Structure 1
């Protein structure tokens, strides 16, 4: 997907669909942090010069906030979550503001408890559905979930405890990363990516500066792009990537080889998004997306370190070049 980035657009709504305040016409500054980790995504949103009545309503009545941003032709949700705190302040004698601190799925993450007994023959899919059922009362629905192992347990299974702990177990045994994205439970295999066309990142489509290879992967900055989502692919010209200089002093040969695998560039220029942070100011210069991504085939296979259970019939698939799933 390659869409030129121009003509900014934004929408900020506080409240449910049937009773929401539309603050889109105000000056808005925001910073949204999204990642493929289990820790909830967060947003800090500052809205300027609201009336006293509006501020009171936001502080007392509403819990949901939906932020959409982008450009004409490439516009969508960059955050959908619940308000955790509203703070008032003043920048000058004429400008007041409220700061909205919000999180995505933190109630389910912090407080959801699963209590279920599964008969013998349950699968990883059954365990995931039990966890999802426990989160449903706190507003979490099913998002992108890859096919899981069909292995059946020979005995019954009792699930009682924090839901996030059982999802951690599923993540380790199924080689997937779980997270909550816009109120949806998402499980993406560590050796796969979300289906769909890749987001083409070039100077013509909004790339700022040059991509840089770091210890965490490939860092790339673009004009704000809601199409850059966790688990999706980016297509980057490898010739534009500035390579990292490794410091060999504190690293053994094995550690250096492993680090090179994890931050390797992809032969076809395809990269999987792990972190996508959006920030902007409707009356300022900032309107950017910072992304950290890794090569779609950056698995541990090349270093000879393969997860336990690989090769067992019905177990997780052997790591290799990433394949899409549907």
Structure 2
């Protein structure tokens, strides 16, 4: 029996002082994209059939921030695995966990623009788009010098001081290298460029998440594995992909976060087949008597023995234990419709595959 029962949804529009209005009872559609490649998360909501007074308040930019809370009132906690590295200081959002409920903040950000329109003569709407910490990403600047004997952590501390005026605080902090640098250094440029440098030195990725900076090492996870199956919200069959692991669709679950873990039944993963384009994209091809390209099935090794020619593209790693790391999340919802989904792009835990460029460039 499914553990998902009774959707929970809240939409809040807030001013700079944290005061505002709740529009949770209206028809609302929303889309949120969150990626681990540093770009700020983007949320777009469309609110239907507001009163002219409320619509004017939104269009006149009375409100500066938007908060989306979604999930289920009846989703019981699931079984977790405990054999993984966990970044314990992940920021906690507003999550309901009493009486089997599970809902939480899936997006909060600064409003970038608003627009009005109509689907038909009866149904009007206001669309609001917001970005998570975009002001800090685009404007935070550092211009200082640091004396000799500094460490990577010292640079991190300087960067956090420049982010504080934008309301950004510390989130997940990695284990910094112990290297002590013998010469002083000038720091001049955008803070996000220096965060790139720190993440590289820590073998990590970084993101602005819910007003905090998270720097997550690639061999760590933000939470233990959430089991996904038909009873806990898995929809259809996970799809193995070329260069990115698996794509998964499930019902909205606020426990699943970026760089967290999910666990699947391996039998449920639909295995990918190589296309002709994949087969013909490398050097193991030849022309037949008609001049058409065909794959070479046999090649000779260094000893002159015939062996099977390898395919030039390979499907991404499939985790033998069924545990995957979430690299991308897209939320889609409609409070009066069927859509209430999370689409996840994941890779096998410990995978050495290089993600495809289309996967890494996905952003809001």
Partner of 2:162: 134
Q: Is the Cα–Cα contact under 8 Å of residues 279 and 312 in structure 2 kept in the other structure?
A: no
Aligned residue for 2:299? none
**SS of equivalent to 1:144:** coil
Q: Secondary structure at the match of 1:43?
A: strand
After superposition, residues 1-326 of structure 1 pair within 5 angstroms as: 4-16=3-15, 18-59=18-59, 60-72=61-73, 73-194=101-222, 196-215=223-242, 216-246=244-274, 247-251=278-282, 263-299=316-352
Aligned counterparts of 1:5 and 1:55: Cα–Cα separation in 2: 33
Q: Deviations over 1:242-266 (max 9, x none)?
A: 112232321469x968955xx2111
Distance in 1 (CA, whole Å) between partners of 2:157 and 2:45 is 33
Query: 133-142 or 6-15: which moved more?
Result: 133-142
> What RMSD over aligned residues (CA atoms) do the two structures have, in Å?
2.1
Q: Which sits farther off after the overlay, 80-89 or 143-152? A: 143-152
Shift of the 300–96 alpha-carbon distance from structure 1 to 2, 3 Å rule, reads closer
Q: 1:239: Cα distance to partner?
A: 1.2
- TM-score (norm: length of structure 1): 0.86
Q: Distance in 1 between matches of 2:312 and 2:135?
A: 40
Q: Distance in 2 between matches of 1:64 and 1:251?
A: 50
User: For the Cα contact (< 8 Å) 2:177–2:201, is it kept in 1?
Assistant: no
Alpha-carbon separation, structure 2, partners of 1:258 and 1:274: 21
Which ranges of structure 1 fall in alignment gaps of 5 or more residues? 302-326
Query: What SS does structure 1 have at the residue aligned with 2:166?
Result: coil
8 Å CA contact retained: 2:132, 2:208: yes
TM-score w.r.t. structure 2 length?
0.77
* Partner Cα distance (1:4, 1:148) in 2: 41
Deviation at 1:206, TM superposition (A): 0.8
Residues 257 and 233 of structure 1, relative CA distance in 2, 3 Å threshold: farther
Distance 1:241 1:31, change over 3 A: same
Kindly tell me the number of residue pairs found equivalent between the two proteins.
296
Per the alignment, in what secondary structure is the counterpart of residue 145 of structure 1?
Answer: coil
- Asked if 1 retains the 8 angstrom alpha-carbon contact of 2:279 and 2:313, the reply is no
Whether contact under 8 Å (1:28, 1:281) holds in the other structure is yes
Gaps of 5+ in 2: 74-100, 285-309, 355-364
